[in-house]
Amino acid sequence: MAIVGRHPWRTATVHILLILGIVLLCFPLYLTFVGSTLTRQEVLQVPMSLMPGDQFLENYKRALFRGTNAPVLGMLWNSLVMAMGIAIGKIVISLLSAYAIVYFRFPFRMLCFWTIFMTLMLPVEVRILPTYEIAAKLGLLNSYTGLILPLIASATATFLFRQFFMTVPDELVEAARMDGAGPIRFFKDILLPLSRTNIAALFVILFIYGWNQFLWPLLITTDPSMNTIVMGIKQTVPQADDFADWPLTMATSVMAIIPPVLVVLLMQRLFIKGLVDSEK
Partner 1 sequence: MLFAAIAMQKKVYFRGTWLPWLLVAPQLIITGVFFMWPAVQAVMQSTQLPDPFGLSSQYVGMENFQFLLNDSTYLESFATTALFSVSVTLMAMVPALFFAVLADSVIKGSGLYRTFLIWPYAVAPAIAGIVWLFMFNPSIGVASYYLKFLGVKWNHVLDGDQAMLLVVLAAAWKQVSYNFLFFLAGLQAIPKSLIEAATIDGASPWHRFRTITLPLLSPTTFFLLVVNIIYAFFDTFGVIHTITLGGPERDTSILVYKVFADGFVGQDLGSSAAQSVILMVLVGALTVVQFRYIEKKVHY
Binding to partner 1 in span 86-145, by CB under 8 A: 92-94, 96-97, 99-106, 109-110, 112-113, 115-123, 125-131, 133-135, 138
Give me the least distance between CB of 14 and partner 1, in Å please: 5
* Residue of 82, 160, 220, 250 that binds partner 1 (CB under 8 A): 250
Cα angle 16, 21, 25 (rounded to 5 degrees) comes to 150
Binding to partner 1, residues 157-216 (CB under 8 A): 158, 165-166, 170, 173-174, 182-184, 186, 208, 211-215
* 21-60 footprint of partner 1 as x/- string (CB under 8 A): xx--xx-xx-xx--x-------xx-xxx-x----------
Residue span binding partner 1 (CB under 8 A) among the ranges 10-18, 60-68, 70-78, 188-196: 10-18
Give me the least distance between CB of 22 and partner 1, in Å please: 5
Give me the least distance between CB of 142 and partner 1, in Å please: 17
Q: Which residue type is seen at 248?
A: L
Task: Specify the 3-state DSSP secondary structure of 69.
Answer: coil
Write b or e for each residue in 138-150: b if 16 or more Cβ atoms lie within 10 A of its Cβ, otherwise e. eebbebeebbbbb
Torsion on CA atoms 46, 47, 51, 56, rounded to nearest 10: 30
Query: Would you say 93 or 200 has its CB closer to partner 1?
Result: 93
What residues contact 67, with CB distance under 8 A and at least 6 apart? 75, 232, 236, 248, 252
d(CA 128, CA 74): 26
